[in-house]
A and B are shown apart, each in its own frame.
Chain A
Amino acid sequence: MDWSALTLSLRLGALTVVVLLPLAILVARPLAWRRFRGKAIVEALFALPLVLPPTVLGYYLLLAFGGASPVGRAWSDVFGGPLVFSFEGLLLASVIVNLPFAVQPVQRGFEAIPGELRDAAFCCGMTPWRVFTRIELPLAWPGILTGAVLTFAHTLGEFGVVLMIGGNIPGETRTMSIAIYDRVQAFDDAAAGRMAIVLVVLSVAAIALTYALSARVGRRLD
């Protein structure tokens, strides 16, 4: 059992959720309520990581963040190390890869809030911020929590992107899925099997939680 890979995966998953959720809320709220030209394009762009092969994403991220890119060069000028092959690089990639997994459930969560309810809140003289924190967020939270769980679970399982830009460095970029791949190539099936079971259990727990939450959303909409 590669404990450093497990904690690394959990850290990556948790930090991805922490960074991505506020972003997702920022993006999903207008997508849920506003109509504007090109909305379909915007939604398509946010859904893109869902259908792109991870190797394609990984390839573009490598181009975008690698040592030859302006972003990569600026990063290494400031921090003295490369962005790719680092935990920070993985986190950045993970946030991008998980956009649809966070944005879509959060958007569904906001869409489920009746417009009259917000109008009523405004009529009562609540400030927009108060409406947001007291009315919208609590009502949208099943969607938000679903987004968080999906993002977390998906990050644990992500392989292609991590392999492309991670470089398989223990304690830094060797996540669970990479460690499993590594163990299989080292003919260490016992260790690979143990880690695979841990990932399966974590994933089933996460998906079960998601289903329980979406069942609740469905009930509330009835």
Chain B
Amino acid sequence: MGSSTIGNQIARLGRVGARAVAAAVLLVLASAPGAPLRAEEAPVVAAAADLQFALADIAAAFRRETGASVTLTFGASGNLARQIRQGAPYQLYLSADEAYVLDLAREGFTRGPGAVYANGRLVVFAPQGSPVAPDGSLDGLRGALNEGRVQAFAIANPEHAPYGARAREALRHAGLWEAVEPHLVYGENVAQAAQFATSGSADGGIFAHALALSPAVGRLGRFALIPAAYHTPLRQRMVLLRPAGATAARFYDYLQQPPAWALLDRYGFARPDPQAGD
């Protein structure tokens, strides 16, 4: 008898639970926004992961000055280009490697060939307590590798991340590729490579100067610029995509003006060569 009473109570609780779940479902459905953030409100800007911090600052400055806002999404340049081919609703694309932009332009996904907005640089980074002493010639890395003290070393995936491809070039230039390759951990994009290199789970890594210059990253270890001659230039090109509206076009223009240059400069991007404009 007692057990059946308990059973009834559980059944009642179950019914209450079911009603609560149903109510929650209805509440969530009712709170659904009529139209998602889209198009003109805040156009989606797809940007290379090395712009993570710089572009956030530029977008904030743009909003202060014009009252218009853009929505930022970051990833590996190669992956973003693939998404654009598959119809992703981005209005502006900032690549870390102009090759991706020029390919898209040839295939008709863009409005013109776009413009070079910056040149990117690489740093070698060692987190606190790492056996790697970061220096531009990569001698510290060479020494640590020779002594067998490097367990894991992070770069972005060279297959679809420009900084990964340039890191590979730099390592080859220094004659370290064979020695370092067995220890490499690949980030899906350059920000993830930086994440690996700074968290202490890797003994170091090569990633974008722009990320190392952000306080959030820089305080996690020491870094040194890798000479630009170690790799082919990271000419970073941006382009308006087919669906671009007025706000995206304004932001595109804004990126080519002194306030944006100042911010790019602060994050270690070299000013684009005027000749390279288009």
**Which chain A positions have C-beta within 8 A of B101?**
none
| A188 CB contact (under 8 Å) in B11, B194, B216 | B216
B60 within 8 A of A: no
B71 within 8 A of A: yes
The CA-CA distance from A184 to B17 in the complex, in Å, is 35
A168 adjacent to B73 (CB under 8 Å):
yes
B276 within 8 A of A: no
The CA-CA distance from A100 to B73 in the complex, in Å, is 32
A171 within 8 A of B: yes
| A66 CB contact (under 8 Å) in B7, B10, B87, B217 | B87
The segment out of B31-39, B125-133, B136-144, B256-264 that lies at the interface is B31-39
The CA-CA distance from A145 to B16 in the complex, in Å, is 12
B88 adjacent to A213 (CB under 8 Å):
no
The number of chain A residues with a CB under 8 A from chain B is 44
The CA-CA distance from A13 to B74 in the complex, in Å, is 25
B86 adjacent to A184 (CB under 8 Å):
no
**Which chain A positions have C-beta within 8 A of B29?**
11, 14-15, 18
The segment out of A35-43, A45-53, A81-89, A127-135 that lies at the interface is A81-89
Interface of A is mostly: helix
CB distance from B46 to the nearest CB of A (A): 8
B38 adjacent to A82 (CB under 8 Å):
no
Mark out the residues of chain B between 1 and 39 whose CB falls within 8 Å of any chain A CB in the assembled complex: 7, 10-11, 13-14, 17-18, 21, 24-25, 28-29, 31-33, 36-38
A170 adjacent to B37 (CB under 8 Å):
yes
A82 adjacent to B89 (CB under 8 Å):
yes
Interface of B is mostly: helix
**Which chain A positions have C-beta within 8 A of B192?**
185
Please give 10 more A-B residue pairs, beta carbons under 8 A apart, in addition to A85-B89, A171-B38, A219-B10: A4-B37, A18-B25, A72-B87, A85-B83, A167-B88, A169-B44, A169-B71, A169-B89, A172-B37, A172-B89
**What residues make up the interface of A, taking CB atoms closer than 8 Å to B?**
4, 7, 10-11, 13-15, 17-18, 62, 66-68, 72, 76, 81-82, 84-87, 141-142, 145, 148-149, 167-172, 174, 182, 184-188, 209, 212-213, 216, 219
Of the A-B pairs whose beta carbons lie under 8 Å apart in the complex, a sample of 10, sorted by A's number, is: A7-B32, A11-B31, A62-B86, A66-B86, A67-B87, A84-B87, A171-B38, A209-B17, A209-B21, A219-B10
Closest A-B pairs by Cβ, 5 of them: A82-B87, A171-B37, A67-B87, A187-B216, A185-B191
